[in-house]
Chains A and B, each alone.
Chain A
Amino acid sequence: MPSEAARVSPAPPHRAMGMLRWEAALVLVLIAVVVFGTAESSAFFSTTTIFFGGLDIGQVAIMAMPMTLIVITGEIDLSVGAMLGLGATMFGYAFAHGTGVAGAMIIALAVGAAGGALNGFLVTRLGLPSIAVTIGTLTMFRGIAEVILGANEVSGYPTSLTTVGFAPIFAHLAYPFFFFLVLALVYGVILHKTPVGRSLYAIGLNKEAAFFSGIRVNRTKLILYITSGVVCAATGIVYALQNDSSIYTAGSGLELNVVAVVLFGGVSIFGGRGTIFGVVLAAIIVGLSQVAFTLINISSEEQQIVFGVLLLLSVLVPNGAEGYRRARARLRRFRQPKLARGVT
């Protein structure tokens, strides 16, 4: 959990440079993954890799978008995986009761909005810590999905829609990944090109200062949680169509994967730092490396080690770099002649 000391940040130009370096590092990692995959398996450098890599990471990547904004404001949403499950469940339940696909989608999205609003209400109105709230709603959403669907499974969605699971769009892209890219574009523009986006960084760096400079902190966070609920419920619909199946366990445990991708993308867990570009790179790296490892027969369970190491490096490297910069600055100050130090 964040200690106050760790929030003390260096001058802005340094931070910008630090982030540039982190994304540059991600690009290098991406190149390394491609080189590694190509060297290890002749099947890697192909269009199927693009398709399956995107299909694998699609759902996590989509949910990483709203999560990025929430983490930048210094909060967290651990209920995303459970909301995916609840979205898939509501979609399936409504569809099985004859609402038609469009009706089922609307119901699922409405439930997503309601769930997000509950998170947002508890965090902003009652002022509860988001990590505890969303662990609670995680358990609750999953429980509600379990009550609704039980051990049942809903399938038999229209084949024209279940193509999202096996057919590519634009030649080689998997549908879930395509949705992700569109969403990333929207979120990228909002975060980096609008006053709302700038205000998110302000909230993450210093909530009180942001409040006193006229930013509606609580309302902004509430909206972020509601959109997160809607996007995750939509991911649940994608899950249901992609697998032609709605079960209540859909997306179990994905919340930690989503958080891991966001942090690996260079978003600071303390808030106030991070870019959509970084998270997109992180999602692509994870997706491609999953394909590469699967091709050389490393099981997805064993791949977790690589994932964990990358996550660890994503906090250790920037921290080490900052420590080094600080040490150098201190050394430089020390080396200055006494007179000059006295003057400044």
Chain B
Amino acid sequence: MTAATRPEIVGYEPPAASGHRVAETITRFRPVVIAIIVLVIFGITTIRNSSFASSSSIQGILSVGAIYVLLAVGETMVIITRNVDLSVGSTLGLSAFTVGEMFNHDPHTSMVLIFLAGIGVGAGCGAIIGLITTLARVPSLVVTLAGLYIIRGLVNIIGSGVQIEPSVIPHGFISIGYSTILGIPWLFVIVVAVALLATAWMIAFPAGRELYAIGSNPDAAVLAGIPVTLRVFTVFVISGALAGLGGVLFLAQVATVNSTAGTGYELIVITAVVVGGVAIFGGSGTVIGAVLGAVLLQVINQALVAAGITAFWNSAIAGALLLAAISFDRLVAVRASRAMLAKEGVTYAK
């Protein structure tokens, strides 16, 4: 019995890094670069307005940004599998309203129950969206767009004629929104814990790694035996659950909720995720990058106010930042592939 002879690989020398090393490094260490940008903006603003570096202002940034960061974690997972979740803002609203209603009926509802209910509502929305997307094989863009409308409609039906007054919400619950531990807002501690769990899952666990494979090439992932349907379903449930948790934290933060809560969050979150280096067509990016992207947007937002520049510039800058980030990624990718081809002797006709 003779096995078919295979050409043996004797040796392989990886090509040496070349002139585009700087650009490549910037892409690979995107989170570090964003962190530096955040610090630079912070420094400049502090020079212009010394009160910006105060602990209360930093706490403000961290706690207001916390909810966007939370949604960005779920959105990152979804986008890495080459899907998108536009329903997160509506899901956040539904969860916030449900939880508010529970307090309306009984202001002494246990905290555990509140968190479970919020997360459960979100996970339920995510599960339905995930089921439709995976079983009916329809694009998630359309399903989650429909989800955005349907869930927002539900919020309006539940919310019509209902007032959720700050007075019915127990003090202990609201304190999650503003109290701090070692100077860090609780809100941010919860969110960072979630982000770290997600990072660990996506770095160290096969199921998390498989998300990248699915996003890089869905068909190849199927052929490689990855349970694509299950994984995609799972990320939609996670994204929904995090949006549900976001709803609970939203209520804790503002202590009142109306039916427009979370409207328009989806596009802000996607902006943060893409600025953070997650490729919109999946397959690459990190949770840490997305988290820093969300923090960056929030810092810019606050810095404009602190530096005395009108806050009107906020979205113009956010938009320009997104365009700059994706353009830069693209240019680096083009240069890298050209350099690789040039090494193999491929030249371009001028």
Instruction: Name A's B-contacting residues (CB within 8 A).
Output: 1-6, 78, 122, 126-129, 131-133, 135-144, 146-147, 150, 252-253, 256, 259-260, 263, 269-270, 299, 301-309, 311-312, 314-316, 319-320
The minimal Cβ–Cβ distance linking A130 to chain B, given in whole angstroms, is 10
Complex CA–CA separation, A18 to B344 (angstroms): 48
The minimal Cβ–Cβ distance linking A151 to chain B, given in whole angstroms, is 8
A127-B330, A143-B316 known; A122 vs B149 contact (CB < 8 Å) = no
Complex CA–CA separation, A245 to B259 (angstroms): 26
Name the B residues within 8 Å of A133 (CB-CB): 323, 326
Complex CA–CA separation, A187 to B165 (angstroms): 51
**In chain A, what residue has the closest Cβ to B153?**
A305
A128-B330, A143-B317, A315-B143 known; A302 vs B153 contact (CB < 8 Å) = yes
A135, A144, A308, A316: which contacts B148 (Cβ < 8 A)? A308
Across chains A and B, which 6 residue pairs bring their CB atoms closest together, nearest first?
A140-B319, A143-B316, A308-B149, A305-B153, A139-B319, A143-B315
Name the A residues within 8 Å of B271 (CB-CB): 135-136, 139
B281 within 8 A of A: yes
B83–A1 CB distance below 8 A: yes
A138–B327 CB distance below 8 A: no
B147–A308 CB distance below 8 A: yes
7 pairs from A and B in contact (CB 8 Å cutoff):
A126-B331, A136-B319, A146-B313, A301-B259, A311-B149, A312-B146, A315-B136
Name the B residues within 8 Å of A302 (CB-CB): 153, 156-157, 160
A260–B145 CB distance below 8 A: yes
A4-B218, A126-B330, A137-B323 known; A319 vs B137 contact (CB < 8 Å) = yes
Name the B residues within 8 Å of A132 (CB-CB): 274, 280, 322, 326
Binds A, one of B48-56, B66-74, B262-270: B262-270
B150–A304 CB distance below 8 A: yes
Name the B residues within 8 Å of A320 (CB-CB): 136
Name the A residues within 8 Å of B315 (CB-CB): 139-140, 142-143, 146
Interface centre among A135, A144, A146, A147 (most CB of B within 10 A): A135
Complex CA–CA separation, A3 to B215 (angstroms): 9
Complex CA–CA separation, A158 to B128 (angstroms): 51
B82 within 8 A of A: yes
Name the B residues within 8 Å of A127 (CB-CB): 330
Question: In residues 293-350 of chain B, which contact A (Cβ within 8 Å)?
Answer: 310, 312-320, 322-323, 326-327, 330-331
Instruction: Name B's A-contacting residues (CB within 8 A).
Output: 82-84, 86, 132, 136-143, 145-154, 156-157, 160, 218-219, 259, 263-264, 267, 270-271, 274, 280-282, 310, 312-320, 322-323, 326-327, 330-331
The minimal Cβ–Cβ distance linking A325 to chain B, given in whole angstroms, is 15
**In chain B, what residue has the closest Cβ to A78?**
B267
**In chain A, what residue has the closest Cβ to B318?**
A139
Name the A residues within 8 Å of B274 (CB-CB): 132, 135-136
The minimal Cβ–Cβ distance linking A271 to chain B, given in whole angstroms, is 11
A135–B267 CB distance below 8 A: yes
A308–B153 CB distance below 8 A: yes
Name the A residues within 8 Å of B331 (CB-CB): 126
A126-B327, A127-B330, A320-B136 known; A1 vs B141 contact (CB < 8 Å) = yes
A302-B160, A312-B146, A315-B143 known; A253 vs B82 contact (CB < 8 Å) = no
A259-B145, A319-B136 known; A146 vs B316 contact (CB < 8 Å) = yes
A143-B317, A146-B315, A308-B149 known; A315 vs B330 contact (CB < 8 Å) = no
A315–B139 CB distance below 8 A: yes
Interface centre among B86, B142, B148, B267 (most CB of A within 10 A): B142
Name the B residues within 8 Å of A126 (CB-CB): 327, 330-331
**In chain B, what residue has the closest Cβ to A259?**
B145
Name the B residues within 8 Å of A270 (CB-CB): 139
The minimal Cβ–Cβ distance linking B304 to chain A, given in whole angstroms, is 11
B160–A253 CB distance below 8 A: no
A306, A307, A316: which contacts B136 (Cβ < 8 A)? A316
The minimal Cβ–Cβ distance linking A192 to chain B, given in whole angstroms, is 24
Complex CA–CA separation, A260 to B274 (angstroms): 23
**In chain A, what residue has the closest Cβ to B159?**
A301
Name the A residues within 8 Å of B83 (CB-CB): 1
Complex CA–CA separation, A320 to B135 (angstroms): 11
B132, B140, B312, B327: which contacts A128 (Cβ < 8 A)? B327
A129-B280, A309-B146 known; A138 vs B323 contact (CB < 8 Å) = no
Name the B residues within 8 Å of A303 (CB-CB): 153
Name the A residues within 8 Å of B146 (CB-CB): 260, 308-309, 311-312
Name the B residues within 8 Å of A128 (CB-CB): 326-327, 330
Complex CA–CA separation, A253 to B83 (angstroms): 21
A135–B316 CB distance below 8 A: no
B136–A305 CB distance below 8 A: no
B153–A140 CB distance below 8 A: no
The minimal Cβ–Cβ distance linking A308 to chain B, given in whole angstroms, is 3
Name the B residues within 8 Å of A140 (CB-CB): 315-316, 318-320, 322-323
The minimal Cβ–Cβ distance linking A142 to chain B, given in whole angstroms, is 5
A144–B316 CB distance below 8 A: yes
B142, B156, B218, B312: which contacts A269 (Cβ < 8 A)? B142
Complex CA–CA separation, A253 to B89 (angstroms): 13
Complex CA–CA separation, A91 to B322 (angstroms): 27
The minimal Cβ–Cβ distance linking A98 to chain B, given in whole angstroms, is 23
A146-B316, A304-B153 known; A135 vs B322 contact (CB < 8 Å) = yes
B150, B310, B314: which contacts A305 (Cβ < 8 A)? B150
The minimal Cβ–Cβ distance linking B82 to chain A, given in whole angstroms, is 5
A3-B82, A3-B218 known; A253 vs B263 contact (CB < 8 Å) = yes
Given contacts A144-B316, A316-B136, 19 further A-B contacts (CB under 8 A): A1-B83, A1-B282, A4-B219, A6-B137, A133-B326, A138-B319, A143-B318, A146-B314, A147-B312, A147-B316, A150-B310, A259-B145, A299-B156, A304-B152, A308-B146, A308-B147, A308-B151, A312-B132, A315-B139
Complex CA–CA separation, A260 to B149 (angstroms): 10
A135–B312 CB distance below 8 A: no
**In chain B, what residue has the closest Cβ to A252?**
B264
A315–B138 CB distance below 8 A: yes
B86, B141, B156, B267: which contacts A139 (Cβ < 8 A)? B267
**In chain B, what residue has the closest Cβ to A5?**
B219
Name the A residues within 8 Å of B142 (CB-CB): 263, 269, 311-312, 314-315
